[in-house]
Amino acid sequence: MADSEVIVAAFTELAPNYQPTIDRELRIFWGISYEQFLERFIAQAHIREGEIVLDVATGTAYIPAHIADQVGEQGRVFGLDITPAMLQHGTVKLAAAGLLSSTRLVCGSGMAMPLADGVFDVILCGLGTHHMQAPKLLSEMRRVLRPGGRLVVADAAATAFWRSFAGALMLRLLLFFYVMSLRSARARAERDALDSLYTAGEWGALLAEHGFEQIEISEIRALRRYVPGGVILQGVRPAAQP
Ligand SMILES: C[S@@+](CC[C@H](N)C(=O)[O-])C[C@H]1O[C@@H](n2cnc3c(N)ncnc32)[C@H](O)[C@@H]1O
């Protein structure tokens, strides 16, 4: 995981061009647009009217903007992110769409959320887990979810090939040339995120270890063998507390 200064520098640099950049990357890696990714991911959450939803690593608030209508006037959508510049762009977007009264953006880390216990019906996190330590993030997600609350996470995943000697070597060489050619904070943040990418099986074990039940995992296929595919993870915080 990159340290938080590198992450904030990376996403401050990216904030004005976030949407076209991520759209281009998803088309190259997964053959889908950012919009198609968001629709597929958000559909898994089955958000209902009146629900209180938290979007962790919300960035420029595309996810809150998509789901504000689904929770309606009785519901609320909170977006949490560590990069103020991403949230500033998000605030402008939510204001332009007239969604400021049903949404709230909070600056903070997903690994130490400035949020009360047991508040949220649903937690989402899109393309953000690889910048955090999964055990800390999952503990915090479980803490702020209400008993019976649902977690839906989508991110890049490690592949079985990367776990082989040849795969690990090739990946580190590719990342070395990626960082040397771009020399940007974003490239450093993505390189440092490598050890926070897990395979679908590893994610399943992590969710179970952190007390989630009804775990379901679907995969998003990469177009090429050596680039990361994606995973969409679902789990429920048990209604009865251990
Ligand atoms: C690739 S963007 C994803 C944005 C958004 N979820 C989306 O799907 O478009 C990753 C985001 O994770 C945020 N992030 C990285 N580390 C974080 C942390 N520890 N806590 C909260 N947000 C974090 C970054 O600031 C950035 O906005």
Q: Model confidence over 75-125: pLDDT tens digits?
A: 999 999 999 999 999 999 999 999 999 999 999 999 999 999 999 999 999
Ligand 1: residue whose CA is nearest its atom 18: 109
Q: Give, in degrees to the nearest 5, the angle at Cα 177 between 171 and 183.
A: 125
- Which phi and psi (to 5°) does residue 150 adopt? -110, 145
**2 close to ligand 1 (CB < 6 Angstrom):** no
The pLDDT value given to residue 165: 85
The residue to mutate among 21, 58, 62, having the most atoms of ligand 1 within 8 angstroms of its beta carbon, is 58
In the structure, what pLDDT confidence band is assigned to residue 228 with cuts at 50, 70 and 90? confident
Kindly give the number of the ligand 1 atom that is closest to the alpha carbon of 11: 25
Interval 161-208: pLDDT, tens: 878 888 788 877 887 776 777 678 877 877 777 788 899 999 999 999
pLDDT tens string 129-145: 999 999 999 999 999 99
Q: Are 228 and 137 within 8 A, CB to CB?
A: no
Q: How far apart are CA 35 and CA 98, in angstroms?
A: 20
Beta strand extents in 118-239 (DSSP E only): 120-126, 145-156, 213-220, 230-236
